[in-house]
Amino acid sequence: MNKKIWAIVAMLGLMYIVFLQMDIEASSQIQEKELNLKQPNLTQQLAFIAFLNTIDDAHDTKLIAIRQHEATHIPLYNLQEIRKPTDFIIQQEIVEPQEKPDEVVREKKKIALTFDDGPHPVVTEKILAVLLQNDIKATFFVLGQNVGKYPQIVHQAAKQGHEIANHSWSHANFTKLSGTQITAELEQTNEAIYKASGKYPNLYRPPYGATNANVRGQTSMEAVMWSVDTMDWKHRTPEKTLAYVKEQVKDNGIILMHDIHSETADSLEAVINYLIEQDYEFVTASELLKLQS
């Protein structure tokens, strides 16, 4: 054979070897791309997620549509090769914001302080001073005859933001009066309150809490009784007043006291401190009724 033929044969042989090498490289590359599922590329991961989504309930249709589009580029057997979804899906922990207990807004318990039978030139003044100092609004169920004597105290109480309510003119037992008498007791007192405070009252409290259908039928005003009876008029002892409050007080309670006894004024600071300590918020009788309606 001549040199030319050998050269052609050698070249062909070399080309064959190069071709084989290329083929091997190419096929190994394909194999790796298609079958190396232990370290899947992004497309494979998305495809697998899409595959999972076809099984589970879909919740984000837009995202799943994109993933399903990606999935069309991956042969199904590749997807089915994958057994452990957690290998590929990064599970993001959802940290829910936790409310701190002291940040929870608690509805405060409500309590109404009410004072009957005044105004009194000394005791009511003392009580107004304590209430002002503690920034507390109370309700005064006044007697018309006392309003006539001390209108300036009613004026001052109203100016401080307290509620003025009707407790009759002469502290008569309404159940023993005629309709006309009841009306007179209430209306004269309403006028006296209006004259002193510039405002007509909305509420009344029948003396002794004595009432019946006849009494109720004489007025459109709302009657307000009490839920905590301090008996302050009877024992005249500040410690006992506080003890009765502690024993009977409840949310939405109405405390009955009398602003005509100096011992009641003396008990007030301790009563208020106890109620504040027990997390009560002070409201007027009208505010309390509004909250309950």
Nearest CB to Zn ion, comparing residues 44 and 114: 114
Nearest CB to Zn ion, comparing residues 207 and 238: 207
Instruction: Give the footprint of Zn ion on this chain (CB under 5 A).
Output: 116-117, 207
User: CB pairs under 8 A, 24+ apart, for 197-203?
Assistant: 197/154, 197/155, 197/157, 197/158, 197/164, 198/158, 199/158, 199/164, 201/163, 201/164, 201/165, 201/166, 202/165, 202/286, 203/139, 203/141, 203/163, 203/165, 203/166, 203/285, 203/286, 203/289
Residues with active-site annotation: 116, 258
Least distance from C-beta 205 to Zn ion, angstroms?
Answer: 7
Nearest CB to Zn ion, comparing residues 47 and 127: 127
Residue 259: exposure state from Cβ atoms within 10 A (0-12, 13-18, ≥19): buried
Least distance from C-beta 277 to Zn ion, angstroms?
Answer: 29
Least distance from C-beta 278 to Zn ion, angstroms?
Answer: 26
Least distance from C-beta 144 to Zn ion, angstroms?
Answer: 12
Nearest CB to Zn ion, comparing residues 207 and 253: 207
Nearest CB to Zn ion, comparing residues 51 and 204: 204
Residue whose C-beta lies closest to Zn ion: 116
Least distance from C-beta 98 to Zn ion, angstroms?
Answer: 52
Least distance from C-beta 131 to Zn ion, angstroms?
Answer: 19
Nearest CB to Zn ion, comparing residues 168 and 284: 168
What is the gyration radius of the CA atoms in the chain, in angstroms? 44
